[in-house]
Amino acid sequence: MHKLDLTSDNGKFRAALLLSGFFNEAECIVFNDKNQNDRRLKLWRGQAVANASKKQTALLMSWLRTFFGERFMGHGFRDTARWSHPQQSFHIYISH
């Protein structure tokens, strides 16, 4: 059983993934960067999120809004440059 860490932004991101059924993704590395207006948390291996059902994606968005509240600004996908296995990363934007 996984322990949910809701004390950090990375922990909240992982908890939302886990509670939405993305068990393997909750264990993957999460990168983060920030600029003047927002912060981006990026799940490098986000292919399962990209391929998820609308119901599972809606559940993930609901958990993200619950954990981040008004700080949650949106999400997106980016193709990663993997020559052997094309992937997509999943990232969310939150305010500081």
* pLDDT tens by residue, 21-77: 998 888 888 888 887 778 999 998 898 999 999 999 999 999 999 999 999 999 999
pLDDT tens sequence across 6-23: 999 999 999 999 999 998
Name, in order, each residue with C-beta under 8 angstroms of 52's C-beta and a sequence gap of 6 or more: 22, 60
* Nearest by Cα to 54 from 94, 11, 88, 20: 20
pLDDT of amino acid 44:
83
Whether 91 contacts 31, CB under 8 Å? no
Domains of the chain: 9-94 (3.30.980)
Per-residue pLDDT at 82: 63
Please tell me whether residue 54 adopts helix, strand or coil conformation: helix
pLDDT band of residue 83 (cuts 50, 70, 90) is low
This prediction has a pTM of 0.87
